[in-house]
Amino acid sequence: MIRLDLSQPVADTRGEPVEPSSNRVESLYRTWWDVVETSFRLLLPAQAPAAPDPRVEEEEREKLAGASPETKPALQALQLMRRLLTQYSGAPFASFGSAQGVHDWQVWAKQNAEQWKGLLQGAGAPQSPPAPGSTSMYDALDRTFAGLADSLGMGPSRAMRDALRELLAAEARRRNAQLAYFAVFEAAWRKIIDDIGSRIGELQARGERVDSFLALVRLWASIADQRVHEVMQSEQGLKAGAEYLRAVTRVRVQLHRVVAIASEALNVPTRAELDDAYLEIQQLKRQMRELKRASKARARPRRKKGSKEQV
């Protein structure tokens, strides 16, 4: 698999400070690179990639090193495209116009639908949250003799253990919600694959062919766009999306709890305490605003009756 190094923040090669938000250009692309790469591989029959050309790689490295934050993501997108094209040259695009090509497409399209299913399910393998009564005998004893444990400084430790257990349960529920969400889209992917097969058949009947990577991407995108939107706007899609978001935010809430326990144990301000301070600041700002406004209103000369505003 090709993996571009996107772990490091964008370096400002001009030695000037970069506004934090400008680095986000890269995060915009990152999402789609992975999808393009995965799609590309799934839309091609299994074959070993050719070794990359070291000279080309060196040249690309130089270009990226000198790139500005604005152009770097586009450069990386092109770099990815070039590598995919080079490493998988000889892909079946040229054969799409032939009867054999269409047949081949339909065979591996079905296989790919299965691959998609496996991929999506693998990303969200269902898990069971820990059962409520599954605490150990040690935990029960610990609670019974909590006073003694707490006097020895074990209170936070026990609270942390409970919080971690809740976090794990929330994470299990998140993965299940993710699976349900992906399952909605998996049905769409199957339709997309079928539609692409049909469209290629239609093209072939008219004596036309899909003869390039870009043509394939365009064909794929135009078909997939319609199907994905249908799913996204469906009641089922919206419900699964809302449940997934709910599960994700519940994980975050549990994570905050874990961090809060650790922060309190270490005498570090918790997020809730900071939020309280921020709230107080905001309320003071509002009071200041009202005072300033009242003061201005008293100082402002009133317009004379009958005077007209100039234009």
Partner 1 sequence: MTAEAQLLQQIGRGMQRLSEFTEQELAIATAPKEEIFQTDMVKLYRYRPQVEKPLRVPLLIVYALVGRYQMIDLEAERSFVRKLLGQGIDVYMVDWGLPRRVHRWVTIDDYVNGYLDDCVEEICARHGVERINVLGVCQGAVFSTCYAALHPERVRNLVLTVAPLDFHADRGRVEPRAGYVNLWARAMKAEDVDLLVDSFGTMPGPLTGFMFLMMNPVMNIAKYTSDLADLLGDDKKLLNFLHMETWIADRPDNPGETVRQWLKDLYQDNKLVRNELVLGGRRVDLRNVTMPVLNVYAQGDVIIPNACSISENVRFGTGDYTELAVPGGHIGTFVGGKAQAILAPRIAEWLKARMQEPF
Footprint of partner 1 on residues 49-88 (CB under 8 A)? Answer: 60, 63, 66-68, 70-71, 73-75, 77-79, 81-82, 85-86
Cα 168–chain centre separation: 21
Nearer to partner 1, 296 or 305 (CB): 296
* Exposed / middle / buried, residue 112 (Cβ in 10 Å: 0-12, 13-18, 19+): buried
Interacting residue with partner 1 among 11, 45, 229, 287 (CB under 8 A): 229
Structure-derived torsion over alpha carbons of residues 127, 132, 135, 140, reported in degrees to the nearest 10: 170
Cα 297–chain centre separation: 50
| Span 168-227, contacts to partner 1 by CB under 8 A | 211-215, 217-218, 221, 224-226
Q: How far apart are CA 141 and CA 269, in angstroms?
A: 31
Both tokens of 180, joined, read 């349900």
Task: By CB under 8 A, tell whether 258 contacts partner 1.
Answer: no
Q: How far apart are CA 37 and CA 58, in angstroms?
A: 21
Q: How far apart are CA 259 and CA 268, in angstroms?
A: 10
**Residue range at the interface with partner 1 (CB under 8 A); choices 110-118, 139-147, 148-156, 236-244:** 236-244
**Residue range at the interface with partner 1 (CB under 8 A); choices 30-38, 120-128, 133-141, 171-179:** 30-38
Task: By CB under 8 A, tell whether 281 contacts partner 1.
Answer: yes
Task: By CB under 8 A, tell whether 135 contacts partner 1.
Answer: no
Nearer to partner 1, 20 or 207 (CB): 20
Task: By CB under 8 A, tell whether 17 contacts partner 1.
Answer: no
